[in-house]
Structure 1
Amino acid sequence: MDTPTGAPDQDWSAGSPPLSRFIQRQAQWLRGFDLRRPWVWDVLVTLFWTAAALIDAAGGWRHNAHDLDVPVRLVVATSLALSLPLLWRRRHPMTVMAVMAAAALVGYGSGAFLQAANLQMIAVYNIALRKPLKALVWPLLLAVPPLVVGTVRFPTGSWDQLIVPAMWAYTLVALLGIAVRSRRDYTAALVERARRLEVERDQQARLAAAAERNRIARDMHDIIGHNLSVITGLADGGSYAAARNPERAAQALTAIGTTSRQALDELRRVLGVLRSAGDDATTAERAPQPNLADLDGLVERVRAAGLPVTLDAHDVPDPPRLSAGRQLTVYRVVQEALTNTLKHARGAARSAHVALLYGEDDLEVRVTDTGSTTAAAPGSGRGQGLTGMRERTALYDGTLDAGPLPGGGWQVRLTLALEDSPS
């Protein structure tokens, strides 16, 4: 057996009859054994054909011989020269063919006409299996001289009866090697394609997991950052009012509790996606994502934290001409911009203004604050705030600009197309 060294063993027997599956499994086992220990098979094949050649040299060669006076030593030496080179047929098939062709030339020229000369077909098969197609020209040419010499020296019939059948046999063996090689290459290509598809599938899974982690990180940053900023503002206002107006302090504490519960609910929803979907006991609660209708509640919470905010969204159609994903992006960008204003804007007269401006094909959102920018500017790029806003905007091929205003303050400007065509 000359096992191709291309594709690994595959189980192609699914759906086959039991006998076919048994034969295929045994063939796969033999191919696997040959791949692991090729020298064992090479030695067994060589010993088998060498024994057959020597048995023929012991006397059987006389049935086909045209000269019975050929020395037995020459017959034995020629038989060994036609069989022993098979040990190297896989590594050096061209050299093996040359040696065997020379031995066949001696056999035909002496009149022995040994049957071991047919072992040249094994060399031709290995050349067709392992070498380029153009390499087949030389073994076929090497097989012709012994036949011609035998036909010329011992003419017992027409040349076409002696040469043509042998050449047809060599040609068919070469075609068999080409067919096996084509099947091997095709199988190897299928296996390689399956391997690449598995790699691509794993890469897609990793990319999807990374994208989901980034989404969760953005949501957690927006939720925690905003709500903690609101709670901080309420706590500062409550501690200031505790000594002067206990009623206002109680209102601040109530607002802190409400904001905390809202933050916990949103965190449970976000973290629920990390739990096992098959465990009914830990399935996260379903809740709609924030949209443009929730901007009023967002503004009210920020106002309660001590930042005067105005919302200009009178020209927003009802329902909004914006997909749910784009509405969530607008909400999170406004939330992050107001959170940054709470954390970074300074001055007693600080305030913020949110404006939604609809155009024919896009929506422009402007979040402007009037606080001093001597401290760390909102969205200055430190941390995850501006990065998260840009990532959300990029999902829908939008643009986001953030920077200080000439007269003081800071502005975040978001532009999104109305059509839902995420990149």
Structure 2
Amino acid sequence: MHRLNAWLRGHPMVVDGAWASIVLFLFAVSNDTNAGSYRLTSILTALLIALLMVVRRRWPDVTVTAALLLGLAQVAANVDPSGSSIGYLVFVYTGAAFGRPWISRLALAGGLLSGPLTVHSFHKTSDGGPPGGNSFWGLAFTSALLSTPFVLCWAWGRLTRVRRAYLVELEDRAERLERERDAQAKVAVAAERARIARELHDVVAHNVSVMIVQADGAAYVMDNSPHQAKEALATIASTGRQALVEMRRLLGVLRSADAAEEYVPQPSVEELPELLEQVRTAGLPVEFSTSGEPRELPRGVELTVYRIVQEALTNVRKHGGPNVSARVAVDFGDRDLNVLIEDDGRGSTDEQLARGGADGQGHGLIGMRERIGMVSGSLDAGPRPGGGFRIRAVLPLKTAK
């Protein structure tokens, strides 16, 4: 049934042709006793009405205008209304539903005139004089009664036009919402890719740099101190396993929800001591201090703090030069969280970071700023007075009510 309705909507001339056949049938069974050329005129009028009905939705303006002219010609030629005259109701509906505004008004005017013209046609005297034999109010009532079906058809057509416009608006709105949904999905995918890229950069840069430092140290003491070389290799293995765990945890978000539940939560501020201990094991002295009242933080802030500290210490280890040391301070304020990472290095850290990144490709500070921006925070990075480099991050916190 749905397919049939869809096919009929796509072929309106078939439906209109069926209605035209009904009009011709009504004309055939009507009591038309005229003979000769007068009857031929009635037949021709019925055929024209049926033909106009078939094409009414393809050319509504032309059809309604032609039907109005045909009706006036029928009155002028004294052709009595017959069963085919019901088609004029369809033309009034067509003008209101499918025609231009002026055609709609023309159809309404024709419908209002149909009653008086019909009364005039039926009540003419034999000599062609004005109507007579009835009171004025009786003729007015009859005219209004005959015009009522035309006015109702016109109102039905207007309702159809409004309903069709409403449906078109709904379809357009649905399309816009679908386009917006697709656009939001693309933005979400791009944001997720950027987040994964940042996570991979942090994980790989930190752990690989630790492994490189330990490998260089093991090669240096391999002959003179095999025990230290063995410890360095153990650190390399432990760091590699930790990197694999973090990468699996990160890539787990790309899998199903069931698979993602197998991975541990993202790192937080509470895991900073473990990170600093790993950095110290790699040969970088780091001081760590906290102030204020520690409390539970949003997961986005927790991960941001951890990754910023991790990235900053990786930069110190890469570019701080010999005998460099660092300090990490976390201050829990009432309205914000302050994170300070600074070093006293004399290497290339200042120069490279000041140019936009510590990884040689400008991703260090850019990634930090993106992370800070996601939690509506601010980042200040630059050389320290007297040497070294300083990174200060301020992350706003929601105050308890």
Match of 2:68 in 1: 101
The Cα of 1:196 is off from its aligned counterpart by 3.7
Match of 2:31 in 1: 60
Separation (CA, whole Å) in 1 of partners of 2:366 and 2:182: 27
Match of 2:128 in 1: none
Relative to the length of structure 1, the TM-score reads: 0.80
2:275 partner amino acid? L
Match of 1:285 in 2: 262
CA 1:111–1:70 in 2, change beyond 3 Å: closer, same or farther?
Answer: farther
Separation (CA, whole Å) in 2 of partners of 1:132 and 1:112: 30
SS of residue in 2 equivalent to 1:125: helix
CA contact (8 A) 2:61 2:100 kept: no
Is 1:307 equivalent to 2:306 in the alignment? no
5 Å-filtered alignment, 1:325-336, equals 325-336=300-311
CA contact (8 A) 1:292 1:331 kept: yes
CA 1:420–1:212 in 2, change beyond 3 Å: closer, same or farther?
Answer: farther
User: What do the CA deviations read for 1:40-82 (whole angstroms, capped 9, x no partner)?
Assistant: 44444445534654x26xx7323xx8xx887223223333333
SS of residue in 2 equivalent to 1:82: helix
CA RMSD of aligned residues (A): 2.9
Separation (CA, whole Å) in 2 of partners of 1:32 and 1:237: 77
Match of 1:367 in 2: 341
5 Å-filtered alignment, 1:85-124, equals 85-115=52-82, 116-124=84-92
CA contact (8 A) 1:366 1:413 kept: yes
5 Å-filtered alignment, 1:265-414, equals 265-278=245-258, 282=259, 284-313=261-290, 315-317=291-293, 319-320=294-295, 322-346=297-321, 348-374=322-348, 377-378=352-353, 380-381=356-357, 382-414=361-393
SS of residue in 1 equivalent to 2:352: coil
Separation (CA, whole Å) in 1 of partners of 2:71 and 2:300: 81
CA contact (8 A) 1:269 1:284 kept: no
- Count residues in correspondence: 382
CA contact (8 A) 2:341 2:391 kept: yes
2:281 partner amino acid? A
CA contact (8 A) 1:373 1:408 kept: no
Separation (CA, whole Å) in 2 of partners of 1:420 and 1:356: 18
Match of 1:80 in 2: 47
What percentage of residue pairs aligned between the two structures are identical?
36
Is 1:168 equivalent to 2:148 in the alignment? yes
Which residues of structure 2 form unaligned runs of 5+? 126-130
CA contact (8 A) 1:373 1:404 kept: no
CA contact (8 A) 2:334 2:399 kept: no
The Cα of 1:161 is off from its aligned counterpart by 4.9
CA contact (8 A) 1:345 1:378 kept: no
SS of residue in 1 equivalent to 2:257: coil
The Cα of 1:284 is off from its aligned counterpart by 4.9
The Cα of 1:334 is off from its aligned counterpart by 0.6
Separation (CA, whole Å) in 2 of partners of 1:206 and 1:150: 70
Separation (CA, whole Å) in 2 of partners of 1:105 and 1:148: 14
Separation (CA, whole Å) in 2 of partners of 1:323 and 1:94: 65
Separation (CA, whole Å) in 1 of partners of 2:212 and 2:399: 37
The Cα of 1:123 is off from its aligned counterpart by 0.9
Match of 1:150 in 2: 121
Is 1:259 equivalent to 2:239 in the alignment? yes
Match of 1:181 in 2: 161
Separation (CA, whole Å) in 2 of partners of 1:328 and 1:84: 76
Which residues of structure 1 form unaligned runs of 5+? 1-24
The Cα of 1:231 is off from its aligned counterpart by 0.9
CA contact (8 A) 1:403 1:411 kept: yes
CA contact (8 A) 2:337 2:394 kept: yes
Relative to the length of structure 2, the TM-score reads: 0.84
User: What do the CA deviations read for 1:235-281 (whole angstroms, capped 9, x no partner)?
Assistant: 11222222332222122112112211211111221122222335xxx
